Amino acid sequence: MIRVILPPHLRTLAHVTGEVRVEVPGEVTQRHVLDAVEAKFPMLVGTMRDRGTGKRRALVRFFACEEDLSNEPPDAALPDRVAQGEEPFLVVGAMAGG
Amino acid sequence: MSGVRLLVGTRKGLFILTSDAARQDWKVDGPHFGGWEIYHANGSPVDPDRIYVSQSGGWFGQLIQRSDDGGATWQQVDHDFTYAGEVGDHLWYDGTPRPWEFKRIWHLEPSRTELDVVYAGAEDAALYKSTDGGQKWVELTGLRTHASAPKWQPGAGGMCLHTIILDPVDPDRIFVAISAAGAFRTDDGGITWKPINRGLNSDGIPDPDAEVGHCVHRIAQHPSRPDTLFMQKHWDVMRSDDAGDNWREISGDLPTDFGFPIAVHAHEPETIYVVPITSDSLHYVMDGKLRVYRSRTGGEQWEPLTVGLPQEHCYVNVLRDAMAVDTLDECGVYFGTSAGQVYGSADSGDTWKALVSDLPPICSVEAQVLP
């Protein structure tokens, strides 16, 4: 199971508290993790990635193992510790005013 | 009847205010969707407990919520606002072409007669329709593919379709307004559209009398006289008596004709309300006084309404969707400010009071009379 921590607004939308866990078939990539999250919580479709282009929304960031993976290719493998369920994949609302 | 419900969209959530028919004591419920921008919330004329909410944010984009029990519970419905067909370009602020790009829904307008039909106005300007209560949205492409559309240009707040009026008599007639393209009308249910901007004059554009390019802030219509429209333009308050084919200025003795909202009294089609603000560079009311101006003659002659409104040290604005009327007798009038106050009048504007004072900045106010 892959561990994912969503930002507070998305936890509210998904009606969850704390981290979520998803099964990711195949290679554990950013794309596959987000696909799995959206499949389990369809109300989040379009909130992390533009639903037309599939690109990360500008003020959403992805962190794991103390690394900023936001600009990594979506099909690149995530760190082993994420794939093994030892570390969570973090979806973060970027710092900005308002 | 049991009372009035106000749907108040703010920068940080939706608030629902309710009162009995006396409209003196108000209960404040919220925030719903705390932290999200609620550009607009609107109830169905068919069933006031059917409410749609445009929920958006810079981080996570656009969502649409629906309630079927007056706001007690909500379900997220579809938010796939895809531009149909070839996307094409409009003009950007610098006059260069730029592809249409969806940003948010500014306005939701439920059908007057069909519970599951609802329209949505988007930035970048497009009109969407759902026939299943928001489960699926389809663009009415005739508007965005109008021959003039490549020349449309955003106003300072974006190129937003902010006004949707469903004609009370002719079900195939719809009016929309876009900042800063102007006003448009369809007479065939949204298949074809006609710019209705003749008579508008805007000094800020190369051709002041152009067919499109006018910054229309808001249009209002009275249901008993649907061919008469009132418009608050960037500058100028305007009137049309032929469904928008021709407009004339009715700013008359207003202290300034710049503003955003305009509303029509529920029972008197010649009684209209505006909230003038100082100028396009000073987006707050004049002289530190919050004054609603009322005309009971369909324009030209205006009177300031001040009783119960702050008359010193007040520097708020009222946005285009933040004024509404109820249909009780006497007519109730409501508006929300950029400083989070909701003011209401239960006597057609003669006297006012703050119904709530410390909400987040207010984007929209809609009034529902409950059965």
Cβ atoms B188, B218 nearer than 8 A: no
Strands (E), B188-302: 194-195, 216-222, 225-233, 237-240, 248-249, 259-264, 272-276, 292-295
Report A:43-72 residues touching B (Cβ under 8 A). Answer: 43, 46-48, 50-52, 57, 59-60
Q: How does pLDDT run along chain B (371 residues), one tens digit per residue?
A: 589 999 999 999 999 999 999 999 999 999 999 999 999 999 999 999 999 999 999 899 999 999 999 999 999 999 999 999 989 999 999 999 999 999 999 999 999 999 999 999 999 999 999 999 999 999 999 999 999 999 999 999 999 999 999 999 999 999 999 999 999 999 999 999 999 999 999 988 888 989 999 999 999 999 999 999 999 999 999 999 999 999 999 999 999 999 999 999 999 999 999 999 999 999 999 999 999 999 999 999 999 999 999 999 999 999 999 999 999 999 999 999 999 999 999 999 999 999 999 999 999 999 999 98
pTM, entire model? 0.95
Rounded Cα distance, B304 and B224, in Å: 26
Q: How far is A80 from chain B (nearest CA, A)?
A: 28
Q: Is the CB of residue B24 less than 8 Å away from at least one CB of chain A?
A: no
Rounded Cα distance, A25 and B219, in Å: 53
Q: Which chain A residue has its CA at the smallest distance from B101's CA?
A: A52
Q: Is the CB of residue A93 less than 8 Å away from at least one CB of chain B?
A: yes
| Whether complex ipTM tops 0.95 | no
Rounded Cα distance, A56 and A38, in Å: 14
Q: Is the CB of residue A98 less than 8 Å away from at least one CB of chain B?
A: yes
Q: How far is B80 from chain A (nearest CA, A)?
A: 8
- Contact between A9 and B82 using a beta-carbon 8 Å cutoff: no
Select from A41, A47, A70 the residue whose CB has the most chain B CBs within 10 Å, as the one to mutate to test that interface.
A47
Q: Which DSSP letter does residue A95 get?
A: P
Residue B137 token pair: 């949205």
Q: How far is B150 from chain A (nearest CA, A)?
A: 22
Which pLDDT score, from 0 to 100, does residue B266 have?
97
- Contact between B35 and A51 using a beta-carbon 8 Å cutoff: no
- Sheet strand arrangement including B3-10: B27-32, B13-19, B3-10, B362-370
Residue B336 token pair: 């929300």
Q: Which chain A residue has its CA at the smallest distance from B37's CA?
A: A98
Nearest CB partner across the interface for B59, out of A46, A52, A93: A93
Burial A74-88 (b: 16+ CB within 10 A, else e): beeebbeebbeeebb
- Contact between A46 and B61 using a beta-carbon 8 Å cutoff: yes
Instruction: Give the list of residues 6+ apart from residue B291 with CB closer than 8 angstroms, or none.
Output: B275, B276, B285, B304, B305, B306, B309, B311
Half-sphere exposure of residue B283: CA atoms within 13 angstroms, side-chain side: 12
User: CA-based diameter of chain A, in Å?
Assistant: 39
